[in-house]
Structure 1
Amino acid sequence: MTGTVFFVGAGPGDPQLLTLKGRDLIARAGAILFAGSLVSEAATQWAPADCEIADSKDMTLQQIVEWLITRAQKNETVIRLQTGDPGLYGALIEMVQPLDAANIPVSVVPGVTSAMASMAAACESLTLPEVTQTVIFTRVEGRTPMPEGESLAELAAHHSTICMYLSITLLKTIRKELLIAGWSDQSPILVVQKASWPNEEKIVRGTLADIRERCLEEGITAQAMIVASPTLGARHWSELKKSKLYDASFTHRFRKASTEEKQP
């Protein structure tokens, strides 16, 4: 009888943003393999004293899988601790397939992704009524090609919120593609490096025209989320469309519409 390998989302950086389920699994783990290039070792602080903890930053996929299989043969609970959410740019299926082939039980625990943490750090909203109700998670084509129909220019043509992962070194390309899609050089851009990481988070605001220069001035060259959105800066708008959900004239299953809103 083998143990179970749990793919646990470590969240964006702050260990306090681990889910309770993830933390509880860490607390009973016999072995933990964490992605040290992206996950703080502080996320393992709840592990038992005798838990085997290893860093995978210099491992290949095959070595990672072999480590997980070997430990699952000796421990009831084995954890692969991954940055953000395991299912988003996490090579999840590439690791699960050989575990399936080895008859190792697998379970996935979701985590907070850096797009959410970045917008929270900046006190911004991904969506706004009558501005955009759509959020796109993507990356810019570099050494890894993008599927047909998913170029940044094609996605940006929707003029919705775009959260760009793994792309901070490609800001020139981002500007070019967004301009092709009809965005203005004055469009607001948000960059957050190491969102939620204690004492390491950096927030940079700019426009499509100057965000690259601003990031270079701050020394931001890795581990950064880029957000282009028509919602950015809404906190300071003089006029804002309100959500229908809380409109006194709007009926839903928990409240009937009223013609006059009662004063508090």
Structure 2
Amino acid sequence: MIHFVGAGSGAADLITVRGRKFLEEADVIIYAGSLVNPELLNYAKEACKIYDSAKMTLEEVLDVMRQAEKDGQTTVRLHTGDPCIYGAIREQMDVLDAENISYDYCPGVSSFCGAASALNMEYTLPGVSQSVIITRMAGRTPVPEKEEIASFAAHQATMVIFLSTGMAEKLSKRLIAGGYSENTPAAIVYKATWEDEKAVICTVGTLAKAAEENNITKTALMIIGDAVTHSHYERSELYNPAFTTEFRQATKER
């Protein structure tokens, strides 16, 4: 059996209870060494074989999985955050499906959730934004033309931008071209929930400057939108005493 496990956003104790159990039981662990907190490997049993996929190709990862299956062993494929976001898991699963190798998927805490916790922010503030766009800049690998940053910026929703810190100046220009003003609140969160986490509040126009001044070049998320500074928003109707829900009647008039 192969378990795809989300390692969480950084801190070792943010892995799920289920994910930790899989790690403790695994005979083989293949982990994304460039991003996963190595402290998580302390949950592995002494006889567990551990492989760092940062130094491996897809074919090499699959070979390890196949051999473990032949040996009747349990494998954990440990990905950063929640692997449904930029995790490259589908290409692994498709091969396993074709070869009738059983697997399951244990979700984890994504770094975009960890970044929100670093800022004590809510992405979906009433009256400010009710949508979150998760995307990245085109770099060495492309993005579909219809998903170009400026086209998303036109929505003025909260944006969480992965894998783009080294292109902060270009990103800033594309955000402004799409409709954000230079003064739109923004944040850069480096290594969310790790011990060396750093969160920097800035604006769309000062993204590149903020990254340079704080020596942040990678392993960071950028968050764009008025929700970052939460300076104005509407009260949620859910807990408004003048609002009736399925579970309680309104107790006062508006």
Taking structure 2 as the reference length, the TM-score comes to 0.96
1:251 paired with 2:251, answer no
Separation of aligned partners in 1, 2:71 and 2:221: 38
Aligned residue for 2:208, secondary structure, equals helix
Q: CA deviation at 1:145?
A: 1.6
Distance 1:186 1:244 in 2: 29
Q: CA–CA distance in 2 between the matches of 1:87 and 1:182?
A: 29
Aligned to 1:60: 57
Shift of 1:95: 0.8
For 1:249 and 1:183, the matched residues in 2 are separated by: 35
> What is the aligned partner in structure 2 of residue 20 from structure 1?
17
My pick for the range that moved more, 139-148 or 247-256, is 139-148
Please tell me whether residue 103 in structure 1 is matched to residue 96 in structure 2: no
What is the alpha-carbon root mean square deviation over aligned residues?
Answer: 1.4
| Secondary structure at 2:166 match in 1 | helix
- Gap regions ≥5 residues in structure 1: none
Find 1:216's aligned residue among 212, 217, 221. 212
* 8 A Cα contact 1:6 1:108, kept in partner: yes
CA-to-partner distance for each residue in 1:5-54, whole Å, 9 max, x for gaps? 11100011101110111001111111101000010111122111111112
CA contact (8 A) 2:128 2:233 kept: no
Secondary structure in 1 matching 2:55: coil
Q: Judge which range, 15-24 or 206-215, deviates more.
A: 206-215
Is it true that 1:204 corresponds to 2:197 in the alignment?
no
The gaps in structure 2 that reach 5 residues or longer are none
- Runs (4+) off by over 3 Å: none
Give the whole-Å Cα distance in 1 for the aligned partners of 2:70 and 2:197: 39
**Structure 1 length normalisation: TM-score?**
0.93
Q: Is the 8 A contact 1:69 1:102 kept in 2?
A: no
Paired residue for 1:113, among 90, 110, 115? 110
- Alignment size in residue pairs: 254
Structure 1 residue 102: Cα displacement: 2.2
Q: Which amino acid aligns with 1:242?
A: R
